[in-house]
Structure 1
Amino acid sequence: MYARVVAATVTAALGMAAALLSPVSDARAGEVRVPAVIAHRGASSYAPENTLDAVDTAARLGFSWVENDVQRTKDGELVVLHDDSLQRTTNVEEVFPDRAPWKVRDFTAAEIARLDAGSWFSPAYAGARVPTLRQYMRRVEHHHQKLLLEIKNPELYPGIEQQTLKVLGNEGWLDRHHLGRLIVQSFSADSVRTVHELKPAVITGYLGTPTTPQLPQFARFTDLVNPSHGSLSQGYVTAVHAFEGPHGRPLRVFAWTVDDADTARRVAGYGVDGIITNKPDVVRAALDSD
């Protein structure tokens, strides 16, 4: 009985994953849809990146997809921050002047919680904080958004894949409903492979541009290939779509980071499935105008 329940749960989860991976552009079905628009680090041209304010701004602009970056503190807390140093996006130099180079892994979660992560962007955001992954997930859930989560610098944080999945599970994001709203990605193929092996139902993305001969290998453990827009061509996108990923659906392509209308229209013309952008409103307007 228990085995049947587990099997049914896994099957349902895979069904939700397959739904998220349903074709965005599928000429065989005679249907063409515009790519998904993903707010990079939240709506990061309009609010300080990777903060709760950036998530709120993306929601206010009407965007359901947000992207974030995850790193780990000295005492093992997962926090949402792009750089492995706190220097660029907080006032850490003022608060802790003698602790250069201010690496995330050298500070406790309590110390990071003291930092101002908004004033560098605008005085209007003074007092914004670096959120923990738990806090971030709760805000995304509040807005009923979808999340493209990047495991950042996994070589610095052994075991971060399992820890990230544990937090996601504790926050309810590995159930049947949420698996249709989650993609975990990394620049590290090993990290993506580890996530897939630990939780096969989770949709995964590889940040990079594997060569066409490498695609069958990547298709064993990743559902998306997410390259820089400058490395793309229509031929490459077509080649990626020709392979099936681990959930039995064609591999997908999310291109990054596109912030102007002309590039958005060019990349959409290649047939990509998603566009990652700091200016989601600009990209949406460009795609809607075609």
Structure 2
Amino acid sequence: MKDWPYPRWVAHRGAGKLAPENTMAAFRLGAQHGYRMFECDAKLSADGVPFLMHDATLARTTNARDIFGPAASNTGGDHSWSELAKLDAGGWHSRAYAGEPLPTLENLALFCLANGYHLNIEIKPTPGTERRAGEVVARHADRLWNNAPVPPLLTSFQPEALEGAMSTAANLPRGLLLDTLWKGWLETALALECAAIVCNHTLWDTSTVTQAQSAGFKCLSYTVNDEWAAQRLIALGTDGIITDRVDLFAPG
């Protein structure tokens, strides 16, 4: 990207841990704290609807076991959207959010577009669906943000998902997520024509920032919840900080 249109501060999964992650309540709360960009996790239902959830399985952040029985350790990809839409995705967090539904990617897109917010969509494939998830999420994002002044940033730990996104909507910016600096990380990001590299914040130092920025990438970090870590990353000249602590860091 010639110009980087995104703010430095990004609210992780909407409002970090202050509200049930990846729900509309969380994004609204993050916005109330002044955040203008959010990170979310998108995966596919069995019938191909992109919806928001981080985990491979439903058990941690929904009442799926109450609805579907003990087999709710199954993935979201095992159920149609009409089934998933019945789940409570807020009660696990606190009683104040009981009954909060799972949102689709379209729900969040409409909220962001109506309010001028930016979005980082992490593609979270059900294992075995990496390329298809990238294709479908990118197709929906391209449709939803059609002609919008700032497109969403599509990221993934899975190169296959980013390949699918690139083949479907090459115009949408991509970012490679890294939890370790595995062999060939820089070359892979170049091959995927990424705009950014998004690292576990501990991986950034003078050397890695120089490597990435010299190759033309923006440097983003997750998940930064301590003042000292944020100051270190700012001093290194990195470009984006993803945080749970929307109550601690004023996005500016």
Task: Using structure 2 for the length normalisation, give the TM-score.
Answer: 0.90
Match of 1:219 among 167, 176, 190: 190
1:202, 1:61 → 2: CA distance? 28
1:170 aligns with 2:143: yes
Amino acid at match of 2:239: D
Q: Which moved more, 1:276-285 or 1:51-60?
A: 276-285
Deviation at 1:48, TM superposition (A): 0.6
Identity of aligned residues (%): 28
Which residue in the other structure is 1:20 paired with?
A: 4
Q: Could you tell me which amino acid in structure 2 is paired with residue 159 of structure 1?
A: R
Deviating 4+ runs (over 4 angstroms): 209-214
Is 1:47 the counterpart of 2:15 in the alignment? no
Residue 202 in structure 1 maps to residue 175 in structure 2: no
CA contact (8 A) 2:91 2:98 kept: yes
User: Which protein shows a greater Rg?
Assistant: 1
8 A contact 1:234–1:269 mirrored in 2: no
Identify unmatched segments of 5+ residues in structure 2: none
Deviation at 1:256, TM superposition (A): 0.5
Alignment of 1:223-262 (within 5 A): 223-243=195-215, 250-262=216-228
1:226-280, Cα deviation, whole Å (9 max, x unpaired): 110122212211221111xxxxxx2111111011111111222221100111113
The answer for the alignment partner of 2:53 in structure 1 is 81
1:1-290 superposed matches below 5 A:
17-20=1-4, 36-153=8-125, 155-157=127-129, 158-171=131-144, 173-175=145-147, 177-179=149-151, 182-208=152-178, 209-210=180-181, 214-220=185-191, 221-243=193-215, 250-284=216-250
* TM-fit CA distance, 1:223: 1.1
Deviation at 1:80, TM superposition (A): 0.5
One-letter amino acid matched to 1:193 = E
- State the secondary structure of the residue aligned to 2:249: helix
How well do the aligned residues superpose, as a CA RMSD in angstroms?
Answer: 2.1
Q: Indicate the SS of the match to 1:219.
A: helix
More helix by share: 1
Q: How far apart in 1 are the matches of 2:77 and 2:177?
A: 23
Aligned length: 249
CA contact (8 A) 1:205 1:225 kept: yes
